[in-house]
Amino acid sequence: MGDVSEELRKFLAPEYIYGLGARFKAGQYAQNFQSQKALVVSDPGVISAGWAADVLSSLEDENLPYEVFSELSSNPKSREVMNGADIYESAECDVIIAVGGGSVIDCAKGIGIVASNGGNVLDYEGVDMIDLPSPPLICIPTTAGTAADVSQFAIINNEIRKSKIAIISKVVVPDISLIDPETTLTMDLYLTACTGMDALTHAIEAFVSNASSPMTDLHALQAIRLISSNLENTILHPQNIEYRNNMMLGCLQSGLAFSNASLGAVHAMAHSLGGYLDLPHGECNSLLLDHVMRFNFTTSEDRFIQIGEQLNIPMKGLSSKQKSQAILTRIEQLKKSVGINWTLEKKGLHRTDIPTLSEFAIRDACIVTNPRDANQRDIEVIYEEAL
């Protein structure tokens, strides 16, 4: 008999509704929470695309009053979260509805934390630092990348320290996610590329994480297959709903994986980099992914070979070094083919910035589950290689 001594694991996921038109269920689910007034969190881009209007229409159909908060930017700032929490309280809301990408959803999560627990959102950095449950949270994601709508992560930018913090808690798992692939049709090509690479990074890091499990492995491998085989086609045919649907499915699978297996050095370093230079999160992951994979390969060779198989790389008869190079080449080719051709230096990073970035990265919660132990000098070298 095989080894069945797998340790006990807890798997967290919200209720989610998947399919075209799911966004129109927002009003119904807000009523299910017996809400008296909703705070709808969105951003100007999502509002101009019309997706927020669909959600507001569903609230009006249920005769449910609402307040809209949309004064937030990419990489949600702590002050924006606090402003949103003030509006939630002053408008006497009792449910939060997030319509947007990861920045919007993370901001909504932060608003909920502060609404229930008080203080500043930055007080809750780390793992399981939140005492009281947040108000009901309904998410309608409009990108196929962050999977914030199914995760127990919230990433907030500490604009004073110029670094992102990770808040990890079952409290920030949304109550319901309404996942509608149609909402991704209005993403521009570069956002499509960056969010797609973000989802791929989630899946790869979850699969090699030292907290992975058979349950998360299933989701991670399926996500890698779906994303790697559909991202380029989505860029070529952005209005093709089948490709968009496959990307949204891949994003969902990656979220179910990383929310429960956590991540690794790519995200620890991307949080530091994105907060420091205020860069898009998916772009940061893309610029670092292959460099961190190279660092981790010898520690998790069997796992990376399985990743290579999902990337559809023929590796029979190859040496260990050749397999590693084939996998890294495919990642490099994928990100370049979708238009991510930058180096860190071209994005404004200077070699003198690296010690500061590395200091923040080594303290990030995601570094704990990287498969290979990394000290600050290791992180500095990876940043240097990505310059």
Residue by residue, what is the 3-state secondary structure of the chain? CCCCCCCCCCCCCCEEEECCCHHHHHHHHHHHCCCCCEEEECCHHHHHHCHHHHHHHHHHHCCCCEEEECCCCCCCEHHHHHHHHHHHHHCCCCEEEEEECHHHHHHHHHHHHHHHHCCCHHHHCEECCCCCCCCCEEEEECCCCCCHHHCCEEEEEECCCCEEEEEECHHHCCCEEEECHHHHHHCCHHHHHHHHHHHHHHHHHHHHCCCCCHHHHHHHHHHHHHHHHHHHHHHHCCCCHHHHHHHHHHHHHHHHHHHHHCCCHHHHHHHHHHHHHCCCHHHHHHHHHHHHHHHHHHHHHHHHHHHHHHCCCCCCCCCHHHHHHHHHHHHHHHHHHCCCCCCCCCCCCCHHHHHHHHHHHHCCHHHHHCCCCCCHHHHHHHHHHHC
Whether residue 328 is predicted with pLDDT greater than 90 in this model: the reply is: yes
**pLDDT at residue 167, as a whole number:** 96
Domain at 187-386: CATH architecture? Up-down Bundle (1.20)
pLDDT tens-digit series, residues 179-201 = 999 999 999 999 999 999 999 99
- Residue of 160, 161, 141 lying closest to 150 (CA atoms): 141
**pLDDT at residue 34, as a whole number:** 95
Per the document, the length of the chain is 387
Mean pLDDT of all residues in 369-375: 97
**pLDDT at residue 5, as a whole number:** 52
Domain segments of the chain as ranges: 15-184, 187-386
Q: Cα torsion for 48, 51, 53, 55, to the nearest 10°?
A: -160
**pLDDT at residue 315, as a whole number:** 87
Class of domain 15-184: alpha beta
pLDDT band at 7 (very low <50, low <70, confident <90, very high): confident
pLDDT band at 98 (very low <50, low <70, confident <90, very high): very high
d(CA 267, CA 198): 10
**pLDDT at residue 284, as a whole number:** 96
**pLDDT at residue 73, as a whole number:** 87
**pLDDT at residue 309, as a whole number:** 96
User: What is the Cα Rg of the chain in Å?
Assistant: 20
Whether residue 1 is predicted with pLDDT greater than 50 in this model: the reply is: no
> Would 15-184 and 187-386 be classified into the same CATH topology?
no
pLDDT tens-digit series, residues 240-274 = 999 999 999 999 999 999 999 999 999 999 999 99
Q: Percent of the chain having pLDDT more than 90?
A: 94
d(CA 366, CA 369): 6
Instruction: Indicate the range of 51-65, 149-163, 205-219 predicted with least confidence.
Output: 149-163
Mean pLDDT of all residues in 317-346: 95
- Average per-residue pLDDT in the chain? 95
pLDDT band at 161 (very low <50, low <70, confident <90, very high): confident
**pLDDT at residue 2, as a whole number:** 46
* 349 CA to centre of own chain: 23
